[in-house]
Amino acid sequence: MASYRILLFLHIASVIALGATFAYPFIQSFAERQGAGVTRFALQAIKRTNTFFVYPAMALIFIFGLALLFSDQRDYKDDMPVWLMISIVWYVAAVGIAVSILRRDTDAGIAALEGAPDNGPLPEAYAPYQKRMQMFGGIVGLSTFGIALLMVLGREGAF
């Protein structure tokens, strides 16, 4: 039982690193109103945060989640509930969006801002990435909230 609680703690503690991602759309929006230099800096900070905190946390969440799934404390390995299957598939999809689409668009957005004057307006080349980062960032943020809701309510037997 102690190992299960430790795994559960580590699983939940890893989720805390995803908290920063909820602020990304607000940071991006604020930075874009300040000009190309601030936006470039904000996107570089987001990229660094993702690289050193968010992506490793995503891997740990999955690893600790699998360890919980196959522990003997719950019968999930023999009879997986629907809410858990939905959560896992949704999580894999959200991670896929974050690691592929959002990472690529953040890199492209930073590249589009290179050479733009710091106090100048955002270049036209940045516009497509701006919209995609906002849209897919919102999808991933809402997914994180939805998955957490399924995990908490499902585990408590709400459905």
What is the secondary structure of 1-42 as a DSSP string? -HHHHHHHHHHHHHHHGGGGGGGHHHHHHHHHHH-HHHHHHH
Convert 97-145 into a string of H (helix), E (strand) and C (coil): HHHHHHHHHHHHHHHHHCCCCCCCCCCHHHHHHHHHHHHHHHHHHHHHH
What is the residue range of 23's domain?
A: 2-155
- What is the chain's pLDDT, residue by residue, as a tens digit (159 residues)? 688 899 999 999 999 988 888 899 999 999 999 999 999 999 999 999 999 999 999 999 999 999 998 887 777 767 888 999 999 999 999 999 999 999 999 999 999 999 999 999 999 999 999 999 999 999 999 999 999 999 999 888 777
Q: What is the tally of structural domains in the chain?
A: 1
